[in-house]
Structure 1
Amino acid sequence: MASRTILVILSEYGYWGEELLGPVAACDEQGYQTVFATPTGKRPQALPPSLDPGYVDPPLGRSVTTPEVAVAVAELDASDRLNDPLSLSAWIPDRPYNSEPDFLRRIEGYYRELGRIDTDIERYDALVIVGGSGPIVDLANNGRVHELILAFLRADKPIVAECYGVACLAFARDWEDRDSIIRGKHVTGHCKEYDYKDGTGFIGVDFNMGPPPYPLEYILRDATAPDGRYHGNVGHETSVIVDYPFITARSTPDSFLAGQKLVEVLESGLRRYGW
């Protein structure tokens, strides 16, 4: 069987190390190729707390990074695998404002370019959106990320989203009906109980945002309604939901399980798990 290729999207404002390591380790074990991409082609970096096994996660009151994972994350973060990510801004067109001159010609050109993405993604077997605080800044409301997600959805290919990366699924929607693509679906994501009260930080920005700027759980509850459901699984050590084509992971401890479930979706036809 031909090797599979997985497209992995990372923020340029910091990814949580284990949330990259988990899916990548599962893909490496299967012999899959991983191709990385960021919004502008800038090399991604791991958030410093995710490299520190002594860092205590405030909501959980314990470390969420083992010494072994910290070493593996540091090796991956320092490797040349992340040196030349694809640039989404160079690949995917930017939708013009309605107020721009000659809007009709511009929007025709936009859709013409957009149609090529369906062909471009034929080489990929799945999409992974890595979590951490960074996606809050440059992935969650990134129209290019949304268009890529929609292309994978049209192609009926699995889409993994972790932690705050799950917001991308809630906001990805067709411009005609504007319904979220996870309407009626079952998902998990960072729950309110596990949100920071203070200390949300980003790579390259000397700014303590305090709490996250939005409670992801509330967004996911609204986006999946009325027939779907958000699953926080508070108190359970892991929370991964498969409602094909979506594989969602709540937070850091779920990263390896999310990678495992991606492999099961691709190799064994798994379509439902965790609910």
Structure 2
Amino acid sequence: MTGSSKILVVLTSHDKLGDTGKPTGWYLSELAHPYDILITLGFGLTLASPKGGPAPLDPSSIEAAKSANDATSASFLAEKPAPWESTAPLSSFLGRASEFDAIFFPGGHGPMFDLATDSTSQALIREFVDAGKVVAAVCHGPAALVGVRELLKGKRVTGFSNDEERAVGLDGAMPFLLEDRLWEAVGQEGGYEKATEPWGEKVVVDGKLITGQNPASAKGVGEAIVKAVRGG
């Protein structure tokens, strides 16, 4: 592939963390690190969300990036205009999988509440699969894939683990636990994989399906997208 490779990035539109009263959305580093890799290598990125317009950025992910002295996330956050402030409605991409090389779902807890059950998102994923395109997701991003059982059945996958969800004290606020739902989706022929320890990097590539476990896996997912699209 040439430098004209294009990725459709799908962010959540959901900004409330269950009934906790706390804000949520997409997670900064899980977009910033793949974005940095892809843009640097000449990929074109188009950002979409179920509702279109501003996609909510989880404020806790901004604090986490500051605490970690995450220069990549800080640089991305400082971009003007902010690319996540003007996402296109997801419905506007139906029938357009041929225009892209991959679809990518960053995490944050937001996808657990909207993308996990969004029929437009699921239809779009099916179009990308049918067209032989790369499908990638990281952390809670794989929640967008659980309703597309034909994609996950028999596959090796990863995503935010039950142990990690419990560690952040949000297992009770979630509509489901992602690890459990991924196990259900892959069935006996597939498998859910995770790092040896919570928060460790884990990227699983099974054909053109790429999943990452947690924020530490975001850069690796970006690198895997490049390899899957361009080879090598």
TM-score, normalization by structure 1? 0.74
- Give the corresponding residue for 1:222: 184
Does structure 2 conserve the Cα–Cα contact (< 8 Å) formed by 1:187 and 1:248?
yes
Cα displacement (A) at 1:232: 1.8
- The whole-number CA distance in structure 2 between the counterparts of 1:168 and 1:89 is 15
- Give the corresponding residue for 1:21: 32
1:263 paired to 2:226: yes
Going from structure 1 to structure 2, the CA distance change for 1:70 and 1:266 (only over 3 Å counts) comes to: closer
Report the AA paired with residue 248 of structure 1: T
Does structure 1 conserve the Cα–Cα contact (< 8 Å) formed by 2:36 and 2:72?
no
Cα displacement (A) at 1:260: 0.6
Q: Which runs of 5+ in 2 are unaligned?
A: 15-24
Cα displacement (A) at 1:152: 0.4
- The whole-number CA distance in structure 1 between the counterparts of 2:100 and 2:81 is 23
Does structure 2 conserve the Cα–Cα contact (< 8 Å) formed by 1:51 and 1:73?
no
- The whole-number CA distance in structure 1 between the counterparts of 2:65 and 2:92 is 39
- Give the corresponding residue for 1:233: 195
Q: Percent identity?
A: 27
Q: Aligned residue pairs: how many?
A: 220
- The whole-number CA distance in structure 2 between the counterparts of 1:210 and 1:69 is 32
Does structure 2 conserve the Cα–Cα contact (< 8 Å) formed by 1:50 and 1:70?
no
- Give the corresponding residue for 2:175: 213
- Give the corresponding residue for 2:21: none
- Give the corresponding residue for 1:184: 154
- Give the corresponding residue for 2:17: none
Q: 1:71 aligns with which of 58, 69, 74?
A: 74
Does structure 1 conserve the Cα–Cα contact (< 8 Å) formed by 2:29 and 2:65?
no
Going from structure 1 to structure 2, the CA distance change for 1:9 and 1:251 (only over 3 Å counts) comes to: same
- The whole-number CA distance in structure 2 between the counterparts of 1:223 and 1:67 is 34
- The whole-number CA distance in structure 2 between the counterparts of 1:46 and 1:263 is 25
Cα displacement (A) at 1:45: 2.7
1:10 paired to 2:11: yes
Report the AA paired with residue 192 of structure 1: N
SS at 1:83's partner residue?
Answer: helix
1:252 paired to 2:211: no
- The whole-number CA distance in structure 2 between the counterparts of 1:2 and 1:255 is 21
Report the AA paired with residue 71 of structure 1: A
Q: Which has the larger radius of gyration?
A: 1
RMSD: 2.2
Cα displacement (A) at 1:241: 0.3
Report the AA paired with residue 66 of structure 1: N
Deviant stretches of 4+, over 3 Å? 89-92, 196-200
Going from structure 1 to structure 2, the CA distance change for 1:54 and 1:254 (only over 3 Å counts) comes to: closer
Report the AA paired with residue 88 of structure 1: L
Does structure 1 conserve the Cα–Cα contact (< 8 Å) formed by 2:3 and 2:43?
no
Does structure 1 conserve the Cα–Cα contact (< 8 Å) formed by 2:158 and 2:194?
yes
Report the AA paired with residue 206 of structure 2: D
Q: Which runs of 5+ in 1 are unaligned?
A: 56-62, 93-116, 174-179, 201-208, 270-275
- The whole-number CA distance in structure 2 between the counterparts of 1:30 and 1:166 is 25
Does structure 1 conserve the Cα–Cα contact (< 8 Å) formed by 2:3 and 2:41?
no
SS at 1:181's partner residue?
Answer: helix
Report the AA paired with residue 188 of structure 1: T
Going from structure 1 to structure 2, the CA distance change for 1:214 and 1:234 (only over 3 Å counts) comes to: farther
TM-score, normalization by structure 2? 0.86
- The whole-number CA distance in structure 2 between the counterparts of 1:242 and 1:54 is 26
Does structure 1 conserve the Cα–Cα contact (< 8 Å) formed by 2:13 and 2:110?
yes
Q: How is 1:125-164 mapped onto 2 (pairs within 5 angstroms)?
A: 125-164=101-140
- Give the corresponding residue for 2:206: 243
- The whole-number CA distance in structure 2 between the counterparts of 1:36 and 1:43 is 10
- TM-superposition CA deviations, 1:128-147 (whole Å, max 9, x none): 01110110111111010000
SS at 1:128's partner residue?
Answer: strand
Out of 146-155 and 163-172, give the one that drifted further: 163-172
